[in-house]
Structure 1
Amino acid sequence: MSEPEKRKSRTPLKGPTPDKFQPRVLLIWMVIFAAIVALWFMNPANTANVREMSVTEVLQAAGQGTISNGVIKSDGSGGKDWTVITGKLRGEDGNLVDFRAAGRVPDASFRELQETGAFKERPAGNVWQQVIIGLLPFVIIIGLLYFLFVRQIRMAGRGALNFGKSRAKMLTRDRDRITFSDVAGCDEAKEEVHEIVDFLKDPKKFQKVGGRIPKGILMVGPPGTGKTLLAKAIAGEADVPFFTISGSDFVEMFVGVGASRVRDMFEQGRKNAPCLIFIDEIDAVGRQRGAGLGGGNDEREQTLNSLLVEMDGFDTTEGVIIIAATNRPDVLDNALLRPGRFDRQVYIDLPDLVGREQILRVHARKLPLSEDVDLAVVARGTPGLSGAELANLLNEGALMAARRNKKKIDMLDIEEAREKVQFGRERRRIMDDEDKKIVAYHEAGHALVQAAVDDGQLPVHKVTIIPRGGSLGSTMFIPKKDMLNYGKRRLLNNLAGLMGGRAAEEVAIGDITSGASGDIKQATKIARHMVCDWGMSPLGPVALGENQETLFLGREISRSQNYSESTAVKIDAEIHRIVDEQYDRARKILQEKRAALDYLASALLEHETLDGHHVVEILEFGEIRTPVTKKTPPPLEPAKARAPRDDASKKPKEVPPSAEPSGAPA
């Protein structure tokens, strides 16, 4: 058998399963039970209610004919001519009672007993029989202790004897094989890791020019971008053993266990070299040393030290390649990131427009899509979504089609699934006319201001007053392209669109509500970034926003403010100025287009949902010229009749969620 075939036939060593050894254990217990029963019957002394008699009394009873089934057995335990007599004695009430007599029987008495015909002579037991009878109880006890304790510890995968064993699992090639064709949206990352596979298949190609295989590859990226999927593709493509383990598998409450598991993992890797070892979520074990305020992190630091030594120390050998994945590279120890340990860092970012379309096509291979489904349109309408979220989107569309008893997934199902994933599911909340009017004007203000200031890159997609997620209404935008840079003009337009809801409430209703809380938070966040991080204010291109992100304990114990109190006052003043100017700008636009605002709000009250081109028509012509077609899909489940409300006071009192536009740009 060739070496590749031997590698393919290798399977991970696993402990015996209880199902596999169940017949064998049952047979052993049956043998033990049978031995106990045999021992019980072989030893007459263990028989209850036995009457002790003398040899003289036995002779008298034999002469009277009250003995039956008697047995005469010579026994050397009491010396020479020692005899044991057992049998049945008929009492005065006629019942048979077991008796036993032991002693020296003279020859004359022995002949008398034989002449009665009630006794049979049994040969004396040998020495081996006595030894077996004496040792059998001890053998049974030792066997019970072995099978109850020692065997259970050896079989337990997490027993005390296996704490230091590695939990890495070897993947087999014949189960759920994933290749590079199943990975899309990260072409550059695929090229980086594809070199590892090529090196393992043809190392001479790289060794001719002095190339050395990397010892480690660290895959970095946001959650859901396909780091683990790419590792599975490497396992499917490489013709070498592939071990997989999670970073949390090294962490244990017992000191020294994690380091022992690291050493055992690399020992398994050397035995199967060349091989690949994939460590998922390595930040669980590779965090920066010295990050703990107490001594509770000594075990994790010992594990990290063992990992550092095994990857690049004095006693290292070629052939074991480490592939790790994390979404927190900032917390990893610097010694782990240096060349020689992780020689290459592969960044897997969120997919762009082309990448999203490729990912959708990969996940749509096994789905029965209708002819009207255009995945390019779906990709354009899902900016910022990761590969996992795109797979979830198609799965939600399939579930909706199945619940409506459809044989194929149409564009309406995918569109509803997209809105559900991005903005939340529709909730038919009972609102009175006043609340509907407030929400209608709020969303109309968002839509009109955004349509008025838009430069053609962020058009209005849909406006609705149907509650979705945590908002009472939504104004959705779909960008024309992936936005990689934000100019100052576009950011100011976004701020004006965000403040359009609050401005519409003030202009049309004459009052303001709490529905703009989410808009205010988002606008303040954008304005602070403009002032502190992006240098888009009169304070100049100075970075004033350091230490604003989440604190990593151990790297910085306290936050440091790198500007004076007077500068802090100027920052607050600039943030207020930017937000107030865009609020006044939005209010001025709505005052000039008051008729369009009233018309759009009344149209929302009538139709509940309008498309983006309807907003443009109202802004340009003052009315809707395209008929509003209500795309109402079949119900997902039979509608249940609701009990009529007898009193409006029974309505639960609650603070309404924010009516912020769910599709507002960040």
Structure 2
Amino acid sequence: MSDNNDKQPDGNNNPWMKSLLIWVGILAALALFVSFFNGASNQQAANAVSYSTFLDRVDAGEVKEVSITPSTGAITGVYTDDATFRTNNPGDDQLVQRLRGKGVTINARAEETPSIWLYMLYNSLPFLLFVGIAFFVLRQMQKNSGSGAMGFGKSRARMLTQKEGKVTFDDVAGIDEAREELQEIVEFLKDPTKFARLGGKIPKGALLVGSPGTGKTLLARAIAGEAGVPFFTISGSDFVEMFVGVGASRVRDMFEQAKKNAPCILFIDEIDAVGRSRGAGLGNQNDEREQTLNQLLVEMDGFEANEGIIIIAATNRPDVLDPALLRPGRFDRQVVVPRPDIEGRVKIIQVHMKKVPLAPDVDARVIARGTPGFSGADLANLVNEAALLAARRGKRLVAMSEFEDAKDKVMMGAERKSMVMTEDEKRMTAYHEAGHAIVALHEPASDPIHKATIIPRGRALGMVMRLPERDSYSYHRDKMYANLAVSMGGRIAEEVIFGYDKVSSGASGDIQYATSLARDMVTRWGMSDKVGPLEYGGSDDSYLGYQVNRPSQMSNETAQLIDAEIKRLVEGGLERAKQILTEHNDQLHSLAQALLEYETLTGDEIKRLIAGEDIGRDDPGASAQPVAAAGTSIPKIRKPKGPFGNPSPQGA
């Protein structure tokens, strides 16, 4: 059996070719029309002579034959050398006698009466050409807004069949809980009588809620693929047009199509474009968007039963949806599609690695550890970037070094290899990053170091990357104190080595992170004994359409106390970093010199160096691909926020 790629392309598969041929035909007809009239007029102008010249040629005996039209006075004739000419008689009554005296053959030509059809064709051709162009343009507009004449109210939902790429649950990884919640929808579509026997009713709709790129659309297609039923897909923005009533008409037409193909799945992507709460001040109370939403509510749970039609919608803004859309009987259940944890990331990476030739050193779990907070789309992009890097380097297999470089490129930007740094700037950067690393090594609550580098990347001159052993969903006080100390390690290293006056601006990102962390500790997480377990941060009441700014309600004394506590926490981290670097000054020098020599060191190499062991490199060029360079500031790896808000930093 041949697949879809073996089919010969036809006109439907090449709409741009059909449009091109139509335009070529219109332009050819226009050119033919212009050339026809221009050719005739040019020929007449080329043969025309003045009447005096004509008489001179007659008197000289050079005219052999003439044809005269009495009604118009038009004269055409032939010279003795067989050349033709054309002129007009201005009313000379002696012309005939003059011609006979010279022996010229005279023919009297009756006036030609052109065909009425030919006359009508000549006069109507420009109008027909204009009508043809207008018809073509209108036809293209109707195709874009619906098929056939007056197709603006037709649904734009596309039906995807199994021939267009079947997706099953095997292609969906990392979201096992969401997949299990939707499994009974698949069972209902396969065997509806199983639930009807016990009086159960399958949910009419399921709302997939999750961040962008977590796999909501892929999950909906997998349900249709597992059940083997037609799958209609449409975007929420496809309903709303500038014409009143078009959206409601498209909703009706969409459900009519779905009923003809029941049982089926109807997938509405980004439903918040049409399902926002009514009366939220977005225009007229009876505007086009609200009419569309009203029609959608009626179709989902009106007087007519839509048996066999399962509606699945996706959004990352469930807070703005109309309450009537979320009640039982419409979207009966909300399925949260979260960002995957480390086990889910391992499965997703393995799914995307199936089509990539891998080197033996590739470990999906190590990659998953280094990508906390990545969605399924982020991981797919990571694998693709690694494959592109391997192809650019002329390799036949994608190795772990390509995945490391791709991860750093996605998270922190491309290496700035063309950037020229002076020796003093490189030395300053090396001690700055070494200060972060030494403090991280001597803070028990800190995450393990993954690598350190002084290669510029993105907007930064270097970085120390730390990776957690596992995903964290809450953060403890000791780890927050450790992060404050690590963030101050770079600034303290500059001060200890180069002096107070030589401290650079490279710690701006570190200071910004430390201040933000300390503020959250005081105002949101109740980790200040003086302020107490009270919440002073801003509350995001976005479902009401505005934010409540709580800090404006506090007294001046409380604000001063909060500022003092934030300063105390940040300076406490500063003092802790100074104590560690003062006690381990020799380790600071050793690590900085190694960074200047090798530019990039892994976490294991740093541990061996601090322990006084050989790091296992013969020369600086034998180092792994220099990766993960980002600022002297502390970059944050994307990680889902836990119950205490901001995640801890993964770089320092």
Whichever residue aligns with residue 138 of structure 2, its letter is: I
Q: Deviations over 1:274-299 (max 9, x none)?
A: 32222222222222333346559933
Q: Is the 8 A contact 2:204 2:311 kept in 1?
A: yes
Whichever residue aligns with residue 523 of structure 1, its letter is: A
Q: Is the 8 A contact 1:473 1:661 kept in 2?
A: no
2:592 to 601, 605, 611: 601
Please report the RMSD computed on the Cα atoms of aligned residues, expressed in angstroms.
4.3
Q: Deviations over 1:379-423 (max 9, x none)?
A: 222222221121222212211211221111122222222232233
* 1:608 to 1:49, Cα distance in 2 relative to 1, 3 A: closer
Q: Deviations over 1:289-328 (max 9, x none)?
A: 3334655993333333332232223445333322211222
Structure 2 counterpart SS, 1:453 = coil
What are the within-5 Å matches in structure 2 for residues 343-362 of structure 1? Answer: 343-362=332-351
Shift of 1:35: 12
2: distance between equivalents of 1:571 and 1:297?
48
2:480 to 486, 491, 511: 491
Whichever residue aligns with residue 503 of structure 1, its letter is: I
* Structure 1 segments (4+ residues) deviating >6 Å: 13-16, 21-39, 66-71, 86-99, 118-121, 633-636
2: distance between equivalents of 1:14 and 1:543?
62
Shift of 1:477: 0.9
Shift of 1:498: 1.3
2: distance between equivalents of 1:134 and 1:368?
73
Whichever residue aligns with residue 147 of structure 1, its letter is: G
- 2:363 is matched with 374
Structure 2 counterpart SS, 1:324 = strand
Determine what percentage of the aligned residue pairs are the same residue.
50
* 1:599 to 1:273, Cα distance in 2 relative to 1, 3 A: same
For structure 2, list consecutive stretches of 5 or more residues without a partner in the other structure.
1-10, 38-43, 49-63, 89-104, 638-647
Shift of 1:560: 4.9
Structure 1 counterpart SS, 2:465 = strand
* 1:87 to 1:184, Cα distance in 2 relative to 1, 3 A: same
Q: Is the 8 A contact 2:319 2:543 kept in 1?
A: no
Indicate yes or no: 2:536 matched with 1:544: yes
* 1:35 to 1:329, Cα distance in 2 relative to 1, 3 A: closer
What are the within-5 Å matches in structure 2 for residues 351-500 of structure 1? Answer: 351-428=340-417, 429-455=419-445, 458-500=447-489
TM-score by length of 2: 0.77
TM-score by length of 1: 0.75
1: distance between equivalents of 2:183 and 2:268?
18
For structure 1, list consecutive stretches of 5 or more residues without a partner in the other structure.
1-12, 40-45, 51-65, 72-85, 100-115, 637-656
1: distance between equivalents of 2:407 and 2:79?
96
Equivalent pairs, count = 582
2: distance between equivalents of 1:616 and 1:32?
80
- 2:213 is matched with 224
2: distance between equivalents of 1:599 and 1:433?
17
Q: Deviations over 1:563-595 (max 9, x none)?
A: 422333332222222222122111111112122
Q: Is the 8 A contact 1:448 1:615 kept in 2?
A: no
1: distance between equivalents of 2:626 and 2:220?
41
Q: Deviations over 1:641-666 (max 9, x none)?
A: xxxxxxxxxxxxxxxx9511336733
- 1:660 is matched with 633
Structure 2 counterpart SS, 1:158 = helix
1:575 to 544, 561, 566: 566
* 1:149 to 1:371, Cα distance in 2 relative to 1, 3 A: same
**Range with bigger deviation, 290-299 or 129-138:** 129-138
Shift of 1:92: 12
**Range with bigger deviation, 561-570 or 604-613:** 561-570
Structure 2 counterpart SS, 1:476 = strand
Shift of 1:268: 2.4
Shift of 1:242: 1.5
1: distance between equivalents of 2:626 and 2:549?
53
Whichever residue aligns with residue 634 of structure 2, its letter is: P
Whichever residue aligns with residue 556 of structure 1, its letter is: Y
Structure 2 counterpart SS, 1:358 = helix
Whichever residue aligns with residue 544 of structure 1, its letter is: Y
* 1:556 to 1:34, Cα distance in 2 relative to 1, 3 A: closer
- 1:555 is matched with 545
2: distance between equivalents of 1:635 and 1:384?
23
- 1:158 is matched with 144
2: distance between equivalents of 1:602 and 1:154?
72
Shift of 1:515: 1.0
Shift of 1:24: 8.8
Q: Deviations over 1:510-565 (max 9, x none)?
A: 23321111111212222222222222222333332242x5x859712764547422
Structure 1 counterpart SS, 2:225 = helix
- 1:332 is matched with 321
Structure 2 counterpart SS, 1:615 = helix
